A and B are shown apart, each in its own frame.
Chain A
Amino acid sequence: KAGVTQTPRYLIKTRGQQVTLSCSPISGHRSVSWYQQTPGQGLQFLFEYFSETQRNKGNFPGRFSGRQFSNSRSEMNVSTLELGDSALYLCASSSTGTRINEQFFGPGTRLTVL
C-alpha cells in the first residue's frame, strides 16, 4: 500500500499570500488529521476530517481552514500568511480516526513565509 502523500514538499510564500496544501491518505483510510510542527511550539493539532466532515479542531485562528473530498483526499488552506506560519505541516491518516487507530503520517510540507 502506498503511504500518505503530501504535496508540495516545499513551499515559499510571502506575507499576506495564501497557500493550499494537499494530502492523500492511505487507500481505504477515511480520517485525515493535520498538525503544525514548529521548533517553538512543537506538534500542534489543527483539525481532523472524516467523510468530508470536520470532527475536531485545534486552537488556531480562522485563517487556517481545511476540507476533505469524497475520495478522502484533504486540503488545508492558510490565508493572509504571517511569518509565524512558517512550519512543517504534517498530515496523518487513519482508518476511522478513533483513539485506538494508529495514525500514519506523511513526510510533511515545509512552508517558509518570507
Chain B
Amino acid sequence: AQSVTQLDSQVPVFEEAPVELRCNYSSSVSVYLFWYVQYPNQGLQLLLKYLSGSTLVKGINGFEAEFNKSQTSFHLRKPSVHISDTAEYFCAVSASDYKLSFGAGTTVTVRA
C-alpha cells in the first residue's frame, strides 16, 4: 500500500515571497507523483507530474518540484507567489493503475 504525507496543513506567505510545500510518500513499488491545486469551489487542476527522467519537474504557473527517491519526497516550490496562488494544494501518488492516493492537502494563504 502507498501513503502520502503533506507535512504542513497551513502555509501563510507574503506576496512575492517564496513558498515550499512538503510532501513525503511511502510505497513498496515505484510511483508516479503529482501535485494538484484546488481553488475555492472548483475541482482539482494538475500543476505538475513526475513520471521518470529529470528529478526537477517544472509545471504551470511558475511551480516546480523535485523528486528525491532516497528521501521519498516530492516537495513543491515557487520562487515568488501571487495573491492568486491562494488555494489548497494536494500531493498525490500513483503506485498502481486506475487510482490516485492523495495527501491531506496544504492550504496556502498569500497576504499582501
User: What is A's interface to B at a CB cutoff of 8 Å?
Assistant: 4, 31, 33, 35, 42-45, 48, 50, 55-56, 58, 90, 92, 97-100, 102-108
Instruction: Give A102's nearest chain B residue, CB to CB.
Output: B46
Assess whether B63 is interfacial by the CB under 8 Å rule: no
Assess whether B26 is interfacial by the CB under 8 Å rule: no
Within 8 Å CB of A45, what residues of B?
99-101
Within 8 Å CB of A99, what residues of B?
32, 94-97
Are A103 and B100 in contact, with the CB atoms below 8 A? Answer: yes
Chain A nearest CB: distance from B66 CB in Å? Answer: 19
Assess whether B11 is interfacial by the CB under 8 Å rule: no
Chain A nearest CB: distance from B3 CB in Å? Answer: 12
Contact indicator per residue, chain B 62-90, by CB within 8 Å of chain A (1) or not (0): 00000000000000000000000000001
Within 8 Å CB of A105, what residues of B?
36, 43-45
> Considering the chains assembled together, what is the distance between the CA atoms of A50 and B99 in angstroms?
12
Interface of B is mostly: loop
How many chain B residues touch A (CB < 8 A): the figure is 23
Select one of B46, B90, B95 contacting A43, CB under 8 A: B90
Within 8 Å CB of B41, what residues of A?
107
Within 8 Å CB of A102, what residues of B?
46, 49
Select one of B32, B45, B51, B104 contacting A42, CB under 8 A: B104
> Considering the chains assembled together, what is the distance between the CA atoms of A108 and B40 in angstroms?
11
> Considering the chains assembled together, what is the distance between the CA atoms of A110 and B102 in angstroms?
19
Are A56 and B97 in contact, with the CB atoms below 8 A? Answer: yes
> Considering the chains assembled together, what is the distance between the CA atoms of A58 and B1 in angstroms?
12
